[in-house]
Amino acid sequence: MTLLVALLGSTFFLSNAMKAEYSKKIKYTPDIVVTDTKAMRETSINREVVSNILAINGVSGALPRVYGSYYFTNADRIFTIVGVDEFETYADKNLNELLKSKSFEANSMLVSKELKELLKKSYYKDYFNFIRADGSLKKVTISDSFESEDTFHSKYMIVMSEQLAREIFSYTAYEATDIAVSVANRDEIGFIANKITTQLPNANVQLKEDLIVEYESLYNFKSGFFLTIFIISFFTYFIIIYDKMSGLSSEEKREVGVLKAIGWRVSDILNAKLYEGLLISLSAYILGIVLAFIYVYVLNAPLLKGIFLKNTELLQDYSLVFSVDYETLSLLFFLSVPLYIAATIIPSWRVATLEADEVMR
Amino acid sequence: MIEFRDVEKHYDNNVIALDKINFTLKEGEVVVLKGVSGSGKSSILSLIAGLSKPTSGEVIVDKKHISKLADHFACTYRRENIGFVFQKYNLIPTLSVKDNILLPLVPVNLKRSELESRLSEQLTLFNIEEKKDTLVKNLSGGEQQRVAIARANINAPKIILADEPTANLDEKLSLEFIEMIKKMKSQKRTIVIATHDPLFFNLDFVDRVLNIENGKLL
Amino acid sequence: MLLNPEILTLYILNILFVLFSSIAFIMSLKIVRKWDANATTKLQYSLEKQSYLTATIIKYIFYIKLPLFLFFIFTLDKISFVLPGAMCGAGVVNASEYATPLLFLKIINLYLFAYWITLDKEDMQDESQPYLKQKFQLFLLFYFLFVVEIILETLMFLNIDITSVVDCCGAIFSTNDDTYLSLVLSMPHSLLLTLFYGNFILMYIVSKLTQAKLFSFLNLTFIFIALISLVAFFGTYIYELPSHHCPFCLLQQDYSYVGYLLYGVLFVGTFEGLVIGFIPFKEDELQKRERVSLVFSFVYVLVVTAYPLSYFIKNGVWL
């Protein structure tokens, strides 16, 4: 039972930690992100709508962004390319710092340290050749590398000038990946989002808040998935316990007979057995939690993390945020202790109500 | 003190263990139930202890109709009034001497000090002080017997019942047992011993000898 | 449909409870019909054994129900973040038509189960087992109430619509609409406080006179008055906001979870007081329970009074 609790505990701790991380990160996403769709599929957006958006009352800023992913065949990896304009301030604090500290020469890019290592392995030390949409190559110098923070974004990250990013993605001068909109008054976000939709009926307007909720439900779902596994395994366990306790050994029968003969009532025997069950399940619970703790926070949850983060390449070596709350603890409690005791009720009762007669013979 | 009125006891397979038994025992008496195995003496003890109920008739102890008590209350009665020494002792081998002796008092929730004092009283009375932490399975036959008696005595019962207590003992230990019975008699207990050991038939402190044969009192 | 680990847990435990309480129900039925204390038949012996199981099951359910109720409230709170407009459990309650009756039923069931356990304990003290048939008959009734509670709970969680907007407690408990609630909330404070403290003092006096039924009745009224005064008056001092009347927000961390203390103490105090009117206890048992009831109720009164007082001391004015 300890293992089960530990397993479930780790799941919850992990998802909680990730949620905490995520909510930290989420501060750096813009209030509203506007993307365009064509035939309900995501496509690039026209930069010029920025002026229309800025015209809406309450919008404090609208920034077209160019970024995307690039698939590197040789290493079977996907890179994230973020195009930046040196003079802009971005919602992402880390990005801003990067802009301040490094400079961008023409035709060069900054790569994350991990990416630099990866490219080296593919014999790209000082530059890299991107393959464009039309098949032509674009050679870009690797000017510097940076520390990638503990982010959910790919650790294979490239920062380059927006212009350059455009070239690589084969964007025209008018295209942008999306538009990051900041709103001065939080309460107006929904209202403004509606206005944008009216302006651009095809656009997909995503609010930061919705993202949070969506992510929450995603994690709830995933935890739910684990929960189902847990239930099934517990059910099996239930049956095993029940079976074990129902198999009354002659030793046990004798003991109960003796107890009854010296004056123990059925309720006394029952209580003793139930206390025993309580103690066992409680200690298993505590032990399980401690184990889960160690697994997640000390060992960094090796296997489980992979299941939670969809692509294995996104595995980070970051230490998880310490986030333990009463809810999770009580959740685990209610899932383990009452169930264990329930499994022992009927068997304990059977034992306690044995006849004491045999003892006499 | 103990009264049997027209008590009959039948078992499942139509075995008649007791057939219209009638007797009365006075408080403080030491009574020997004499009879061979299967004569019904164990059933009588079981009925006095409230461990089983008569098929018909009544068992009255200290003015209480214990044959009519629900199991729950029969156990309480037994705990408060009866000390039983079994033929096979029925100690719990994996527990220590002191744990075995204290066992009957566990559900009673006495204060720790009370438990301690009672325990030491019994340990001294029956001479097993030094072995109090030893596991019962590591004791000799004689020592186990003493533990069994101490356990029976610890709740200061009014009635002590012993079922073939000397069946597995040599003469020396049997005599020791008789001494312990004397000690308990001096504590004013009513003592009923079921046995076919002739050692008991001519003791001076035995008040009565009842003969049981085929479930009938002779 | 809303599904998260907490709700799932509640479902699992509910299924467990239904299973076990149904076993208890079947046994209770048999006992009520066939129990004969004087019989020495096999049937009677097996009924006796079953009575132990039933009692154990009921105790088990109760002792888990208590913390589970808190967990339930916790869950409501957690869901509130997903429902647009809700900022605490009150919003969730508003989102479902089943929620309010469910809440009432849950509380009533807590009292009922606690009553059963007390009755059982008393019954087992006496060799004649005076309450035996009664307690199992009662359970037959309680079982139905319990099952209804679980059905309501399941329905509630199944039907919460996360897309519709709900009111938060500010709107539900406002004094402006013309609902019964707002009528109650706009009662003059002097009247409210008189009733509240008056009730408590009466309880104290009556306990000295050892009038069990009257004491019990006063505890019943105390439940209502305490809750109303909490929501209408004392709560506002805990929140330090004259318009904040929500009974749920008390349970949140921001207010040091004081809600749990208050409700817990109130439950114990009023239960001990109530039960006296229903079971004829022996004299010393009666005294003991009366004392316990008074002590707990007193703690409640104390804690709840502390808030407005400390506010006044800090700020020199009332809200």
Task: Note the pLDDT tens digit of each residue in C159-205.
Answer: 777 667 776 666 666 655 555 666 667 778 888 888 888 888 888 88
Mean pLDDT of chain B: 84
Check CB contact under 8 Å for C12 and A331.
no
Asked which of A139-153, A309-323, C104-118 is least confident by mean pLDDT, the reply is A309-323
pLDDT for the residue numbered A318? 43
Q: Minimal Cα–Cα distance from A131 to chain C, Å?
A: 44
Give burial (CB, 10 Å; 0-12/13-18/19+) of A41.
Answer: exposed
pLDDT for the residue numbered A151? 47
pLDDT for the residue numbered A319? 43
Residue of A nearest to B92 (CA): A255
Check CB contact under 8 Å for A262 and B107.
no
Q: What is the mean pLDDT of residues A46-53?
A: 82
Q: 90-109 in B: which are within 8 Å (CB) of A?
A: 90-92, 103-104, 106-107
Better-scored residue on pLDDT, A152 or C80: C80
Q: Minimal Cα–Cα distance from B29 to chain C, Å?
A: 28
Asked which of A84-98, A215-229, B5-19, C135-149 is least confident by mean pLDDT, the reply is A215-229
* Helix/strand/coil for C271: helix
Q: Is residue B150 part of a domain?
A: no
Q: Minimal Cα–Cα distance from C62 to chain B, Å?
A: 23
What gap in Å lies between CA A145 and CA A127, rounded to an integer?
A: 12
User: C290 and C276 in contact (C-beta within 8 Å)?
Assistant: yes
* Helix/strand/coil for C255: helix
- Domain with B206 in it: 2-93+157-217
Q: Is residue B9 part of a domain?
A: yes
**Within 10 A of C292 (CB to CB), how many other CB atoms are there?**
15
pLDDT for the residue numbered A51? 83
pLDDT for the residue numbered A148? 62
pLDDT for the residue numbered B4? 86
Contacts of C202 (CB under 8 A, 6+ apart): C218
| Chain B residues touching C132 at Cβ < 8 A | none
Phi, psi of B34 (to 5 degrees): -105, 130
Per-residue pLDDT band at A236 (split at 50, 70, 90): low
pLDDT for the residue numbered A120? 82
Q: Is residue B14 part of a domain?
A: yes
Residue of A nearest to B81 (CA): A263
Instruction: State yes or no: pLDDT of A154 exceeds 60.
Output: no
What share of chain A has pLDDT > 90, as a percent?
0
Asked which of A10-14, B167-171, C55-59, C155-159 is least confident by mean pLDDT, the reply is A10-14
Asked if the C-beta of A264 comes within 8 angstroms of chain B's C-beta atoms, the answer is yes
Q: Minimal Cα–Cα distance from A220 to chain C, Å?
A: 5
pLDDT for the residue numbered A358? 56
User: A273 and A37 in contact (C-beta within 8 Å)?
Assistant: no
Q: Which of A254, A261, A360 sits opposite B42 (nearest CB)?
A: A360
Task: Note the pLDDT tens digit of each residue in B103-160.
Answer: 888 888 888 888 888 888 888 888 888 888 888 888 888 888 888 888 888 888 889 9
Domain CATH number, residue B69:
3.40.50.300
Asked which of A219-223, A268-272, A302-306, C1-5 is least confident by mean pLDDT, the reply is A302-306
pLDDT for the residue numbered A119? 81
Task: Note the pLDDT tens digit of each residue in B43-52.
Answer: 888 888 888 8
pTM of the model: 0.70
Check CB contact under 8 Å for A261 and B79.
no
Q: What is the mean pLDDT of residues B161-179?
A: 84
Q: Minimal Cα–Cα distance from C49 to chain A, Å?
A: 6
Q: Which of B45, B52, B151 sits opposite A262 (nearest CB)?
A: B151
Q: Is residue B167 part of a domain?
A: yes
Domains of chain A, residue spans? 2-22+213-360, 45-176
- What type of residue sits at position C44? Q
Better-scored residue on pLDDT, A322 or C142: C142
Check CB contact under 8 Å for C38 and B68.
yes
Asked if the C-beta of C274 comes within 8 angstroms of chain A's C-beta atoms, the answer is no
pLDDT for the residue numbered A139? 83
| Chain A residues touching B92 at Cβ < 8 A | 255, 258
Per-residue pLDDT band at A357 (split at 50, 70, 90): low
The structural domain count of chain B equals: 1
Q: Which two tokens stand for residue B121?
A: 């009283």
Contacts 24+ apart (CB under 8 A), B186-190: B187/B153, B188/B27, B188/B28, B189/B28, B189/B83, B189/B157, B189/B158, B189/B159, B189/B160, B190/B1, B190/B2, B190/B25, B190/B26, B190/B27, B190/B28, B190/B29, B190/B30, B190/B31, B190/B158, B190/B159, B190/B160
Check CB contact under 8 Å for C127 and B71.
no
- What type of residue sits at position A157? M
Q: Which of A255, A260, A361 sits opposite B75 (nearest CB)?
A: A260
Q: Is residue B164 part of a domain?
A: yes
Better-scored residue on pLDDT, A86 or B180: B180
Asked which of A300-309, C98-107, C219-228 is least confident by mean pLDDT, the reply is A300-309
Asked if the C-beta of A78 comes within 8 angstroms of chain C's C-beta atoms, the answer is no
Q: What is the mean pLDDT of residues C31-36?
A: 85
Q: What is the mean pLDDT of residues A142-149?
A: 71
Chain C: touching chains (3 or more CB pairs < 8 Å): A, B
Q: 3-42 in B: which are within 8 Å (CB) of A?
A: 42
Mean pLDDT of chain C: 82
Check CB contact under 8 Å for A259 and B103.
yes
Check CB contact under 8 Å for C20 and A342.
yes
Residue of B nearest to A262 (CA): B104
Asked if the C-beta of A237 comes within 8 angstroms of chain C's C-beta atoms, the answer is no
Q: Is residue B107 part of a domain?
A: no
Q: Is residue B78 part of a domain?
A: yes
Mean pLDDT of chain A: 72
